[in-house]
Amino acid sequence: MSILVNKDTKLIVQGITGRDGKFHTGLMSKYGTNIVGGVSPGKEGETVEGIPVFNSVENAVKATGANTSIIFVPAAYAADAILEASEAGIQLVVAISEGVPVQDMIRITPILKQNGTLLIGPNCPGLITPGQSLVGILPAMIFKEGNIGFISRSGTLTYEVVNLLTLNDFGQTTCVGIGGDPVAGLYFIDLLERFENDPDTIAVVLIGEIGGDAEEQTAQFIHEKMTKPVVAFIAGQTAPPGKRMGHAGAIISSGSGTAEEKIAAFNRAGVPVAKEPAEIPELLRKKLAGLKK
């Protein structure tokens, strides 16, 4: 099975006529994703890669029955694009846009919750269920169908670690890049719950990073609720306090959010933490071997 996206996903692309939207529409369509439409105000009636373009998400949903949207809209307008999708009844929104103002996300988050809209991102690479649906900018060639769930705050490390998993014959059910912004949509616990309930997922690999306390809360959830093994890696283990490392949320402040704190929390929950990404396949192999004894 999978979580969030599969072969039945009906996707629209907001910002389909822009450079990035057009480029990644081509790649997602080539992978086999069911892209049913695009949205670009003032360009209804045009097509991109043979896909019809609509003036609004509402028009696109009415014409196609779309249930998922991906956002390739400049940061200043991204929150409103997310909100437009939500108000049109889209169930899952994947926001690729980087640099979306935190205030904008704070403004729309309660509305998304009220509407029952699920959000991945912003500032994320998206997600993929290998062999079924790619909704994002992930390089499709490194993914392989299998039974390992994958969640990551880091886009670049997603690519590196998934490639390691695939080379070690650990295929994936679904891989999700959640992004590293301070205010974002579905996060570790939300996704772990879904992987826990997915009968085809037998284990989960989790990539965290410094900043905030999401990993510490996640470790507590794993200890109390997860029956499936989890293996982790924390990026930024050598980062000095006060130094932001890439993502807006990846900053150690007031002595909290350190890699050491996160690693200790995972260890207490029985989650092995790799010292470097290359160790992840072996840690996963040991965890799975322990289940068979």
If asked whether residues 101 and 155 sit together in one domain, one would say: no
CA pair distance 185, 253, nearest whole angstrom: 22
In a domain, 134, yes or no: no
- Judge residue 200's burial from the number of C-beta atoms within 10 Å of its C-beta, 0-12 exposed, 13-18 middle, 19 or more buried: middle
Whole-angstrom Cα Rg for the chain: 19
DSSP percent split of the chain into helix, strand, coil, nearest 5: 40, 20, 40
Which residues are tagged catalytic?
247
Phi, psi of 111 (to 5 degrees): -70, -40
If asked whether residues 45 and 89 sit together in one domain, one would say: yes
CATH number at residue 267: 3.40.50.261
Q: Which residue type occupies 47?
A: T
Q: At what angle do helices 155-167 and 280-292 cross, to 10 degrees?
A: 60
pLDDT of residue 191: 98
DSSP 200: T
The one-digit pLDDT tens for each residue of the chain (293 residues) are: 789 999 999 999 999 999 999 999 999 999 999 999 999 999 999 999 999 999 999 999 999 999 999 999 999 999 999 999 999 999 999 999 999 999 999 999 999 999 999 999 999 999 999 999 999 999 999 999 999 999 999 888 999 999 999 999 999 999 999 998 889 999 999 999 999 999 999 999 999 988 888 999 999 999 999 999 999 999 877 666 655 555 545 454 444 578 888 999 999 999 999 999 999 999 999 999 877 65
If asked whether residues 162 and 245 sit together in one domain, one would say: yes
How many domains does one find in the chain? 2
Residue 48's DSSP bridge partners are 51
The residue segments making up the domain with residue 273 are 139-292
In a domain, 133, yes or no: no
pLDDT of residue 158: 93
With a CB cutoff of 8 Å and minimum separation 6, the contacts of 95 are 70, 71, 78, 81, 82, 119, 120, 121, 122, 123, 124, 185
pLDDT of residue 103: 96
pLDDT of residue 291: 74
DSSP string computed for 231-249: EEEEE-TTPPTT---SSTT
In a domain, 4, yes or no: no
In a domain, 238, yes or no: yes
If asked whether residues 57 and 147 sit together in one domain, one would say: no
Stated as kind and residue range, the H or E segment containing 63 is helix 57-64
If asked whether residues 234 and 148 sit together in one domain, one would say: yes
Sheet containing strand 126-129, strands side by side: 133-136, 126-129, 172-177, 145-152, 203-209, 230-235, 273-274
If asked whether residues 105 and 162 sit together in one domain, one would say: no
pLDDT of residue 290: 76
CA pair distance 76, 74, nearest whole angstrom: 6
pLDDT of residue 51: 97
Closest CA to 38 of 18, 26, 24, 52: 52
pLDDT of residue 254: 46
CA pair distance 224, 175, nearest whole angstrom: 23
**pTM of the entire predicted model:** 0.93
If asked whether residues 112 and 230 sit together in one domain, one would say: no
Q: Which residue type occupies 13?
A: V
If asked whether residues 93 and 176 sit together in one domain, one would say: no
